[in-house]
Amino acid sequence: MVLSVATLFLFSGNSFAATKIKLGVVTKPGSAQNIAAQKFKELIELRSKGGFEVKIYHSASLGNETEILQQVQMNTIQMGVITGGPFDTFNPISRVINYPFLFKDNAQADEILDGPLGTQILKSLEISGFKGLSFSENGFRNLTNSKKPVKSPDDIKGLKVRVMASAIHKAIWSALGANPTPMPWPIYTELEQGVIDGQENPLWVMEVYKFYEIQKYLSLTRHVYSYHIDVASLKWWETLDANDQEMIQKAMYDAAVYQRHDNRSKDAARLKLLKEKGMEIIENPDIAAFRAKVANLKDMDLYQDPQVKEMLLKIMEAVK
Ligand code: EAX
């Protein structure tokens, strides 16, 4: 049995005011970002014995992810669980993890992101006003579309694919031959009305947002490992004492680890469900051909910032 924090207050007659944390996510309850946020709320409220109280603003009630990040910078909201793509607008370091076909599997992603290189990436967000706390995940991204089964890059030619607000994501889909259209989340209506033919996201998105209703074809391309950065406002962070900082940092990391496992444990069932719902699944697209098309991205202008380039090369070396 779990006593709620409110019940504990009643019993203890505690009257001190909790510090309120506003936390923004763009997706709806049941989504990857929300599962991380909910777990963080549960852990920090419990561990701080009610000293912190978290209110989650979901479903874009604070705007899209770029807008949430602007509010985090200003400390009008204190935290966010934000998909890696939109960070690109604020700080080019996030491009390195969005690099196509960088990690071969979950274990490798965890090893890098939980290790010193991941820590360095989080640290380098401070210059943009963000305290990066940890990485939770969306998962590996896969292409869906309403036009045709996509097995190789040849099938992508001219396809209108929605991409996140991110220069690297746009570059990936240009290199693959698509017609990439940057657009903030959510995108159901645009898919339904045919403004865009396709999109790419991890499997949970196809389930939670019911994309099986409007997208016939799913190709398991796993082209990008999609992470969230669990982020706090640096302005706010600097007002906290060291104990609170440590407690928040730890609670967010534990929530992230919990959420990654939760997400991964559901993928097999999701695939089954999407099949049952009538999606045609291309399980083994020609990944070698996809990789060849994006092989030169690291030499593009996008990666010419010395710090970004150095980090990308270090990760590439570490995952060899
Ligand atoms: O988490 O914008 C995106 O494609 C994200 O992956 C989406 O918010 C689902």
Q: 61 alpha carbon to ligand 1 midpoint, in Å?
A: 15
pLDDT given for residue 1 in this prediction: 46
**Per-residue H/E/C for 130-188:** EEEEEEEEEEECEEEECCCCCCCHHHHCCCEEEECCCHHHHHHHHHCCCEEEECCCCCH
Q: How confident is the model at residue 152 (pLDDT cuts 50, 70, 90)?
A: very high
Q: Are 220 and 150 in contact (CB under 8 A)?
A: no
Tokens of 195: 């403004």
Domain 142-224+268-318 has CATH 3.40.190.170: yes
- Average pLDDT rounded to a whole number, residues 36-60: 98
Half-sphere exposure of 247 (CA within 13 A, CB side): 17
> For residue 75, which of 239, 234, 248 has the smallest C-alpha distance?
234
Nearest CA to ligand 1 atom 7: 185
What is the C-alpha to C-alpha distance for residues 175 and 187, in angstroms, rounded to an integer? 23
Arithmetic mean of pLDDT, 147-159: 97
> Distance, CA 239 to ligand 1 centroid (Å)?
31
Q: What is the rounded average pLDDT of the residues 176-185?
A: 97
* Residue 14, pLDDT score: 52
Percent over 70 (pLDDT), the chain = 95
- Would you say the CB of residue 205 lies under 6 angstroms from ligand 1? yes
Domain boundaries, the chain: 20-139+227-267, 142-224+268-318
Q: What is the pLDDT of residue 16?
A: 76
For atom 8 of ligand 1, the residue with the nearest CA is: 185
What does the pLDDT average to over 191-218?
98
Distance from Cα 188 to the centre of ligand 1, integer Å? 11
Instruction: Tell me, using a 6 A CB cutoff, whether residue 91 lines ligand 1.
Output: no
Q: Is 138 in the pocket of ligand 1 (CB under 6 A)?
A: yes
Give the CA distances from residue 266 to residues 70, 145, 157, 205, 217, in Å, rounded to whole numbers and listed in that order.
32, 22, 32, 12, 20
Evaluate: CB of 83 within 6 angstroms of ligand 1.
yes
Say how many Å lie between the CA of residue 163 and the centre of ligand 1: 9
- Return the pLDDT at 279: 98
Spatial CA neighbour of 155 closest among 271, 280, 296: 280
Q: Specify the CATH class of 20-139+227-267 in words.
A: alpha beta
Query: Is 70 exceeded by the pLDDT of residue 9?
Result: no
Q: How far apart are CA 110 and CA 108, in angstroms?
A: 5
Given this model, what pLDDT does residue 13 score?
A: 47
Q: According to the model, what pLDDT value does residue 15 have? A: 56
Q: How does 280-303 read in b/e, with b if 16+ C-beta sit within 10 Å?
A: eebeebbeeebeebbeebbeeebb
C-alpha–C-alpha distance, residues 254 and 247, integer Å? 11
Q: What is the pTM of this model?
A: 0.94
Which residue among 35, 68, 138, 215 is best mutated to probe the pocket of ligand 1, counting the most ligand atoms within 8 A of its Cβ?
138
254-270 residue pLDDT tens: 999 999 999 999 999 99
DSSP-derived secondary structure for 230-274? EEEEHHHHTTS-HHHHHHHHHHHHHHHHHHHHHHHHTHHHHHHHH
Evaluate: CB of 66 within 6 angstroms of ligand 1: no
Please give the single-letter amino acid code of residue 196: I
- Quick one: pLDDT band at residue 22, thresholds 50, 70, 90? very high
Given this chain, do its domains 20-139+227-267 and 142-224+268-318 carry the same CATH topology?
A: yes
Ligand 1 midpoint to CA 315 (Å): 24
Rounded distance from Cα 11 to ligand 1 centre (Å): 42
> For atom 5 of ligand 1, which residue has the closest CA?
83
The tens digit of pLDDT for each residue in 227-249 reads 999 999 999 999 999 999 999 99
